[in-house]
Structure 1
Amino acid sequence: MRLTFSRTGRLLVAAGLVSLLAACNSAGRSTQYTSLEGYVPDPTLKTATKTNLTGRVRHACTVTQARFQKVPEDALAAPCGCYAERTLSTLDKDEIASYRTTGYFNDSARAKALNALDSCKLPRPV
């Protein structure tokens, strides 16, 4: 069976493949986060308590893992609570300051977060 696409369809498929390749090439670079156009970190992060930061990380984990695993969010309350607690307890003051400023984990904090995912038996996002 031979697929036939219109010229527009072929252009769209080619554009999609180019976009996918560009995304794959930049996936391992930490600069991908610094180049997010229009991204503004939540200004309340700068004064948030550590408990509030833990809640934010727990919520982000729950939403992300629910989409990733295709399960309801409430099924991930315990593992994401584990993840948030372990991650924030291992971050040093510079890593927390970076998170407060940027809204995401820097490279050293990201490594600790990945270890927390493993120890809390959560799959790593791709």
Structure 2
Amino acid sequence: MRIRIALAAGLMALGATAALAGAASSQLEAYQPDPALRTAPKTELESRVRRACAVVQARLQNTAETTLERPCGCYARATLRALDASELEAYRTTGYFNDSARAKALEALDSCKLPRPV
């Protein structure tokens, strides 16, 4: 269960925004973000978002994660570039995107031509 939430959180950071939005509050309360997020360079955050995107999108599209490297790279770059300082700090603290960051992540999914999670 924690892995699913962590992947979803990363994907929220990835656009799996809907995955976390649908998660029960008790699941979110049990989720503990990786402490390394607090000090990770932005390139590491982008890498985490890209990996989470590949996992979620591979499931959504029933395809191999390796086929999603380019579109998920697009998504990760676009999402992190769109976040303001407070949204980025919230992600570092919680391990998932807040509401305003989720909206930006969904826009990035659309612009990178990736399907939105249900």
Query: Taking structure 2 as the reference length, what is the TM-score of the superposition?
Result: 0.78
Please say which structure displays the higher CA radius of gyration: 1
Q: 1:48 to 1:119 in 2, by over 3 A?
A: same
CA deviation string 1:37-72 (max 9, x = no partner): 421110000000000000000000000000111000
- 1:1-126 paired onto structure 2 within 5 Å: 32=23, 35-36=26-27, 37-126=29-118
Whole-Å separation in 2 of the counterparts to 1:49 and 1:35 = 30
The Cα shift of 1:31 comes to 9.0
Q: Relative contact order (alpha carbons < 8 A, sep ≥ 6): 1 or 2 greater?
A: 2
Q: Tell me the percent identity.
A: 63
Gap change, CA 1:63 and 1:87, over 3 Å in 2: same
Q: Distance in 1 between matches of 2:63 and 2:96?
A: 24
CA distance in 1, matches of 2:35, 2:103: 25
Equivalences, count: 100
CA contact (8 A) 1:46 1:100 kept: yes
Do the aligned residues in 2 keep the contact of 1:45 with 1:103 (CA within 8 Å)?
yes
Mark the CA change 1:43 to 1:75 in structure 2 (over 3 Å): closer, same or farther: same
Amino acid corresponding to residue 67 of structure 2 in structure 1: A
Distance across 2 between alignment mates of 1:72 and 1:28: 20
Determine helix, strand or coil for the equivalent of 2:30.
Answer: coil
String of CA shifts for 1:17-51, please: whole Å, max 9, x gaps. xxxxxxxxxx7995957532421110000000000
Aligned-residue CA RMSD in angstroms? 2.1
Distance across 2 between alignment mates of 1:125 and 1:87: 16
Alpha-carbon distance in structure 2 between the residues aligned to 1:79 and 1:29? 21
After TM superposition, the score normalised by the length of structure 1 is: 0.73
